[in-house]
Each structure stands twice: as C-alpha cells, then as structure tokens.
Copies of this chain bind each other. A is one copy, B any other.
C-alpha cells in the first residue's frame, strides 16, 4: 500500500478531512496552481446538521452524504484518498496514513471533532453517540429494535427500560434529536405500534448547565425549553450524568433513570494525531493556530475548523471560535486565498469571523433563530431553518429529495424509512482492515 499520488510540478496541498472546512478549501483551490490531495476516512462528505433526522428515520443517509469522487469528477490534478492520518513528521513534510506515507508542501488539518466521553469507558462502550452517519444509522436501528422488543417483553421493568430514552447534552444536537423523537412518539408510534401504550414511552433530555442551547440567547433557550416541554420531553437542567451501568443512568443529584437507549451528545473533542507535540494542543484537544490558521513552529502546517483553536487576533472570540460550520467554511475560504497569496509573495490576511447567526429546530413550526441581531422563534424561525438547511445541501437532486421527504413528514409523518438494516461486512474488508491496522497502527471503524 502507498498513497500513490503522482508527482507534479505544482506544490502539493494535502487536506486532512473533507468536512465543511476541508471541502470548501478544496473547492476554492480549483483553479489554483496547486496539486490538491484530500484525505478522509470516509469516501463521502456528510452534512452534520441533518444527521439527527437520519437517526429518527426522517431522511436517508444518501440524501445528506456526497461521495467525494462524484463531487470532484473531472477536476484536474486533484486526488482523493480514503485513509486515516496517524502521524505527522513536520521536519520531513510527510504524514503517515493508514495506507502509507504522503509528502506535502502545505498540510491542512481539518479533521473536525469526535464525541467526548470525558474518560468514562463504560459510557463510551454502552452509550449511542450520534456524531457520524454510521452512528446515526446505528441509533436508528437500536431505537427500532428496542421498540420491537418492548412489545414482546414480559418483564415490566425491562419493558420500561426499552421504552425510556435518555439524551445527554442540551446543545443543538440534543435539542433537535429530543424534538424529533418526541414527534416520533406522538405521531408515528401510535400508528406503528397500536398495542404499545404510548404513555409508557418517556424521553429525557439532561443538561448540566442552567439552560439549553447555552450558545444562544436566554430568550431562545427559554423558547426551546417551552417547545420541548409542550411536546412532552422531560428536560432536566443543572443535572450532570455521572455514570451508566446495567441500564441505569446515574445523575449527580443522586437520582437514576433506567434506559436501554442512552444517547450521548454532550461535548466534543478535536480529532487527535498521535505524535502531535503537546505544546500545540489546547482546550478541547484543539490545535493551536495563529490568526492565519498556521500551526506555529511547524513549517507549512495549517489547521482549520473545529479541529483548531485561534486564541488571539479575533478579539470578539478570545476563548476560541464556536465549533460551527460557518467558522470552518470561512476559514477554508480564507486559507485558499492565503495560500495563493503566499505563492505570489503577498502577505496573508488574518481571519475575522463573521457571525451569520445560529439556529436550532425542535419540530414542525418550532425553532429558534438568531440572525443579524434578530431573535426569532416559532414558525418563522422554523421556515428560515428549512430554507437555510435546504440551501446548504449539495446537489439539486438531494435538495429535491430532502424537500420531498420533509413535505411528506410535515403532512403525514408517513415516511416508510423505518428499516432495521445492517450491512454485512465482507470478510475481504474485515481482513484488510486488520492487516492495515497491524501495518500502520490504525483501525478503520
């Protein structure tokens, strides 16, 4: 195995991670004088804002995932490599990947974040995260399997555990999945499971801070709390989950909740590279960059998006920018321009985040949005949420399919996507993964 990227007269930009930041950078380098290599462990770009709808069977994964090879068809001097990055040798300008070494002139680390279990191995093993498409499909399967088993469970205690859903984390993801599951409870389950008492199904949303959506205004937090409670979600504020053992969630005030669907969406940690010097790492495992997204002291190394933190320069965000799509996209955009400037001997421009606003949706006609100083709630915010997210999905066909699905759900919740379906992994793939893991010390999940 090798990365097998042909040599070129042009300088090589290696982008690690094809999320919002990495993808934007790769697209903006289109007519540049660089050879571009995009490395990602998946063969597709995914659209995180709608992953919760995949989990709740609202849309299909293919509607919010876009194969890189298709996105970059016919692009000159561009190479996609499906691999994981495991090491960096900045002096030699080489990275180690799961399929071999790769040299670079410029390296851009844009691998984003992963779920943070805060060191609790038991929670890590038994909880269901929802950060990736693969995880959201796993959650969908587990939810539906638990409903099927609740129906045929003769032990009342176990049945209650199967019907209780506990979501930990009251950020946008937690709020959105709580809303989607509550709509499932209220509109889908009574039809699909008429012999399952709906009243037995309880949804808990646990947040350690005094309010939901702490990154938004108090008004939006209050709105979201009101929406969720009106939909029957049990929102617990100022409560911290301390453990999860034998289907019991332990909370720091001494109370417990029994559940077999324990969804962990609280906090993220930046993806790490094993041999990254520790003085380059700051809070949340994020890579320290200067206001040009440069990793200082490592020649030609940059980091953008959720994986980096920029402690200085942008006065309004001294604690680091929020880990949002917009920051990554704007940094990807600017870095593309800066790399071109650098090649022409021009000075780079520092990053200044332009806050385009934030929003979260809870259910039909229920959302909150904060844009350009305006705070909105209810139907208008919900409509705006739909438009903004539909606009951001890549491809006309995908926009149409998602819109079509949303309309069906809006009028009838009548989607028929509730399949429990696992892909059978071929032995050849399993064998290869083991072989590569031995060779390069990584295992592709």
A192 touches B416 (CB 8 A): no
A429 touches B395 (CB 8 A): no
- Tell yes or no: A108 within 8 A of B by CB: no
| A99 contacts partner chain B, Cβ-Cβ < 8 Å | yes
**Contacting residue for A421 out of B73, B81, B133, CB 8 A:** B133
The reply to whether the CB of A138 lies closer than 8 angstroms to some CB of chain B is yes
Q: Mark A136-154, 1 if CB is under 8 A from B, else 0.
A: 0111111011101101111
Q: Are B152 and A81 in contact (CB under 8 A)?
A: yes
Contacts of A137 in B (CB 8 A): 421-424
- Residue on B with the closest CB to A139? B426
Q: Which residues in window 49-87 of A have CB below 8 A to B?
A: 60-62, 65-67, 69-70, 73-74, 79, 81-83
CA distance A83 to B83 in the complex (A): 38
Within the complex, what minimum Cβ distance (angstroms) separates A423 from chain B? 4
- In the complex, the answer to whether A420 meets B152 with C-beta atoms within 8 Å is no
A2 touching B152 by the CB < 8 A rule? yes
CA distance A44 to B57 in the complex (A): 14
Neighbouring B residues of A445 by C-beta, 8 Å: 424
A126 within 8 A of B: yes
Contact of A427 (CB < 8 Å), options: B126, B134, B395, B421: B126
Chain B residues whose C-beta falls within 8 Å of the C-beta of A43 in the assembled complex: 144, 148, 418-420
Residues of chain A in range 386-445 having any CB-CB distance to chain B below 8 Å: 395, 397-398, 401, 408, 414, 416-429, 432, 445
Residues of B within 8 A of A79 (CB): 195
Please tell me if the beta carbons of A397 and B416 are within 8 angstroms of each other in the complex: yes
Is A191 in the interface zone, CB < 8 Å from B? yes
CB-CB contacts below 8 Å: A20-46 with B:
42-44
Interface residue? A253 (CB, 8 A):
no
Q: List 18 A-B contacts (CB under 8 A).
A: A1-B149, A4-B154, A42-B420, A43-B144, A44-B421, A65-B421, A67-B192, A125-B427, A134-B423, A137-B422, A138-B425, A139-B426, A145-B432, A397-B408, A397-B416, A422-B423, A423-B423, A424-B445
